[in-house]
Structure 1
Amino acid sequence: MTFITENILRNPPILLGLIAMIGLLVQRKNIADVVKGSLMAAFGMIILDAGVDLIVSTISPINEAFQEVVAGDVAVGEALNDATFTASHGGNVGLAMFLGLVIHLLIARFTKVKTIFLTGHMLWWFPFIFVAAGVEGGMDGVSVILFGGILSALYWSFMPWLMRKYVWAVTEDESFLIGHPTGVLSLISGFIAKRVGNKNNSTEDINVPKKLSFFREISVTGAIVILLMYIVVWFIEPSVIGEEENIIFSSINQGFTFGAGLLIMLYGVRMLINQIIPAFQGISEKLIPGAVPALDVPIIFNYKPNAVIIGFIAAMITSTIMIIIANAFNIFGIILIPLVVTSFFECGGAAVIGEGQGGQRGAIIGTAVASIVMVGLMGISAMVYSSTIQNWMLVFGGNDFSLFGPIANWIAELLTGVFG
């Protein structure tokens, strides 16, 4: 089981390559098409991951600098490391993941909810947070495995399904869903955007003067945003760059890296969609009729790229203001840290959904409201996970982890109280 978990389920290129291969074999494609389709799907996932890694490498120093300013007593290494909890409970997380996958596939096969969750790393992280919630609630052994597995299966099946109409409104393509913890923030953004926005006024139609037309390219805009962020953060916390580095040139290089990461990520997205969707039709037709794959959130960034950058900026500004207020009044009894990673990926997805429901205004207002909720969820979840993965949640929370984790903890405490 550990072999399968480590080498297949937590290895997205191999997982998606195998799924593409199965789909093509089921469709009785010739061997050349099977080999090419399987490898191209794996290549697409690797390219997508490479782009994401470049983006994260430019965001992380900003995140760490914020931690130094806002919460110097929080150990960055611990916050970015799940090793302590995994060392004690990793076996239970793995077993919960396996059980959850079995239940998840049964739900897809025998109910009207036809989601197949294919975001590889999230197949690990949801059992991780649910098992941690069970441990916080007093569970152990078989009970926490069952608990984590069942809740993971329900999330993998139902959250992408709940989001489907919002996603399809953006993509105009019902062949895939989104499987990512942006769920609650995207639903909030879409709900708000539909009521306050104007779909006829799109972020992709922003009237930019000809001399500034380069702003219409997401990689250029993203590079400039990151360059300016580094310079601003440097005035607050110089450790954002190395002691021997020049702030201007270092910021320029980080901007270049971020822009290149966006280009690579979007190329990987297009490549993956072109391979995995046709191959998945074989699984849908033969093994689980009507099944629809749920893929990582960058898949939809290509549809409204301007909205992603606008959402990132709106989320960073709004959430940082809310975090300053929360820390000043000690609302959660713990120092909160700006959520740079969540602001880009989860709120970027929320902005795309908001754009699909309400254009420019919908993307901005929907994401701003979602980012306020993001801060509240992060604070609550950090309190709930006080003895297990609190530091991890401070860095990667504010999303579905921070919503369903505390709910799971409440259920665990209820069950433990009733059954002992």
Structure 2
Amino acid sequence: MNNILSFITDNILRNPPLLLGLIAALGLVLQKKKAAEVVKGSLLAAFGMVILQTGTDMLSGSIAPINSAVQALAGSGAAEGLNDATFTASYGGSIGLAMFLGLILHLLIARFTPVKTIFLTGHMLWWFPFIFVAAGVEGGLTGWGLIIFGAVASALYWSIMPWLLRGYVRDVTQDDSFTLGHPSGILALISGFVAKRVGNKEKSTEDIKLPQSLSFFREVSITGGIVIFIMFIIVGIIIPTLAEGQNLFMYAVTQGFTFGAGLVIMLQGVRMLINQIVPAFKGISEKLVPNSLPAFDCPILFNYKPNAVLIGFIAAMVVSTILVIISNSFEVFGVMLVPLVITSFFECGTAAVIGEGQGGMKGAIVGTSVAAIIMVVLVGVSAVMLTSTIQNWILIFGGNDLSLFAMIAKLIANLFGGIF
């Protein structure tokens, strides 16, 4: 049984292209489509996920040197140990069982309660049990008590957070066929709440008027590439070691090209995935879990408000980096924070899209700026609360739902630690 669970966990649940391909195939089979349509739809869904992942990896890789350089500027960094590899080596089995049991409970929630979302962001099916098991360990849980705690907490998150976000997603997409399944949830909710009260929907980021000679800026891949180019030039002037002995100008050009190309590839993957998964999912919704909504990764939203993504990224980077430097200078959290470049792009980019849907350009900027402040607070507090398990991992990838719900889970685990 352990071998079977390990195979399913490692080769299907932690393999997003295969997982999404199988889900598309199941949906098409339930709709009694012809074999050729099932094969075509499932393979195109898998290809779309591979393309999306490739684009996402290119984006992350292109901004990673900035992250390292800003860390050096802030005088901070995460040491080795207390990370995902060391923690998984000790608790990987517990995480896998928590994920498997959590998925069963998640599907039961969707089938038998009014909360009808099915979480389809493959890699997050691992990372949420990971952080909940870590929180349980911090709280003193062991054995099956720890596994059940991680499973229940994961199932509740996968079910409830996408359900809370569905209205905000609908306002962005004008479509109620899917919702968001990503740890940007709390930042998106904050951004949307603020944007609705301070923004103006009539003035959209996507309606920015440019003279004909600058019309190329309306292509998000070009704008994104130029933004990254400028960021590399600025950071490279401040931190000369950024270019690693290369010509700074040419290094910045290359990274800008990579970022722009990554956006093109990622958005193409998004389009392919939506075109295949949403229609195929109707079969699952009609036959197995009536009226359910698929919850997708955050790049799904980037195609709707691409300008908002870049504006949110810039706003979040400026606000959060200033706060990180201040926090480190005054030892606010008692731990050295790492500037959150990746979280600023993906989570705060998503928050900007949601803010744009509620309050246009002003909503996107103000909502994301407030979310960026919360992001720094979340990563600082969660790093302190996870001091003996995954502190260094959360310093790099936290500041989002992973931080917030790890903190909540830690407090709950403290209550039960003495019992289990």
Which residue matches 1:25? 29
In 2, Cα distance between equivalents of 1:72 and 1:301: 31
Which residue matches 2:166? 164
Which residue matches 1:46? 50
Which residue matches 1:279? 280
In 2, Cα distance between equivalents of 1:306 and 1:73: 31
In 2, Cα distance between equivalents of 1:292 and 1:99: 21
Tell me by how many angstroms 1:241 deviates.
Answer: 2.2
Quick check: 1:359 aligned with 2:360?
yes
Q: Is the 8 A contact 1:308 1:351 kept in 2?
A: yes
In 1, Cα distance between equivalents of 2:402 and 2:28: 34
TM-score (norm 2): 0.97
- The residue type equivalent to 2:384 in the other structure is M
Q: Is the 8 A contact 1:130 1:147 kept in 2?
A: yes
Which residue matches 2:396? 395
Question: SS in structure 2 opposite 1:175?
Answer: coil
Q: How many residues are aligned here?
A: 416
Q: Is the 8 A contact 1:132 1:388 kept in 2?
A: yes
Which residue matches 1:416? 417
Which residue matches 2:299? 298
Deviation digits for residues 211-266 of structure 1 (CA, Å, limit 9, x no counterpart): 221111110111011111111111232332222x1110010000000000000000
- The residue type equivalent to 2:296 in the other structure is L
- 1:67 aligned to which of 65, 71, 78: 71
- 1:210 aligned to which of 212, 215, 240: 212
Quick check: 1:142 aligned with 2:144?
yes
In 2, Cα distance between equivalents of 1:396 and 1:239: 24
Which residue matches 1:176? 178
Question: SS in structure 2 opposite 1:338?
Answer: coil
In 1, Cα distance between equivalents of 2:335 and 2:199: 35
Q: Is the 8 A contact 1:196 1:362 kept in 2?
A: yes
Relative to structure 1, the CA distance from residue 73 to residue 281 in structure 2 (aligned partners, 3 Å threshold; closer, same or farther) is closer
Which residue matches 1:370? 371
In 1, Cα distance between equivalents of 2:91 and 2:160: 26
Question: SS in structure 1 opposite 2:367?
Answer: helix
In 2, Cα distance between equivalents of 1:117 and 1:327: 36
Question: SS in structure 2 opposite 1:249?
Answer: helix
Which residue matches 1:341? 342
Question: SS in structure 2 opposite 1:191?
Answer: helix
- The residue type equivalent to 1:119 in the other structure is T
TM-score (norm 1): 0.97
Q: Is the 8 A contact 2:191 2:370 kept in 1?
A: yes
Question: SS in structure 1 opposite 2:115?
Answer: coil
Tell me by how many angstroms 1:63 deviates.
Answer: 1.0
Question: SS in structure 2 opposite 1:330?
Answer: coil
Tell me by how many angstroms 1:72 deviates.
Answer: 4.8
Tell me by how many angstroms 1:187 deviates.
Answer: 0.2
Which residue matches 1:13? 17
In 1, Cα distance between equivalents of 2:131 and 2:81: 16
Which residue matches 1:89? 91
Which residue matches 2:315? 314
Q: Is the 8 A contact 2:78 2:338 kept in 1?
A: no
Q: Is the 8 A contact 1:181 1:346 kept in 2?
A: yes
- The residue type equivalent to 2:249 in the other structure is I
- The residue type equivalent to 2:284 in the other structure is I
Tell me by how many angstroms 1:322 deviates.
Answer: 1.1
Q: Is the 8 A contact 1:85 1:388 kept in 2?
A: yes
In 2, Cα distance between equivalents of 1:261 and 1:66: 22
Which residue matches 2:237? 235
Q: Is the 8 A contact 1:384 1:406 kept in 2?
A: yes
Relative to structure 1, the CA distance from residue 318 to residue 8 in structure 2 (aligned partners, 3 Å threshold; closer, same or farther) is same
In 2, Cα distance between equivalents of 1:235 and 1:330: 27
In 2, Cα distance between equivalents of 1:324 and 1:53: 27
Q: Is the 8 A contact 2:77 2:336 kept in 1?
A: no
Question: SS in structure 2 opposite 1:116?
Answer: strand
Tell me by how many angstroms 1:64 deviates.
Answer: 1.6
Please list every run of 5 or more consecutive structure 2 residues that lacks an aligned counterpart in the other structure.
Answer: none
Q: Is the 8 A contact 1:56 1:341 kept in 2?
A: yes
Question: SS in structure 1 opposite 2:118?
Answer: strand
Which residue matches 1:99? 101
Q: Is the 8 A contact 2:133 2:150 kept in 1?
A: yes
In 2, Cα distance between equivalents of 1:374 and 1:169: 23
Question: SS in structure 2 opposite 1:142?
Answer: helix
Quick check: 1:384 aligned with 2:396?
no
* Percent pairwise identity: 66
- The residue type equivalent to 2:140 in the other structure is G
Q: Is the 8 A contact 1:71 1:336 kept in 2?
A: no
In 2, Cα distance between equivalents of 1:413 and 1:240: 43
Q: Is the 8 A contact 2:99 2:129 kept in 1?
A: yes
Q: Is the 8 A contact 2:76 2:338 kept in 1?
A: no
Tell me by how many angstroms 1:73 deviates.
Answer: 5.7
In 1, Cα distance between equivalents of 2:393 and 2:88: 12
In 2, Cα distance between equivalents of 1:65 and 1:414: 41
In 2, Cα distance between equivalents of 1:155 and 1:146: 14
Q: Is the 8 A contact 1:70 1:335 kept in 2?
A: no
Relative to structure 1, the CA distance from residue 184 to residue 7 in structure 2 (aligned partners, 3 Å threshold; closer, same or farther) is same
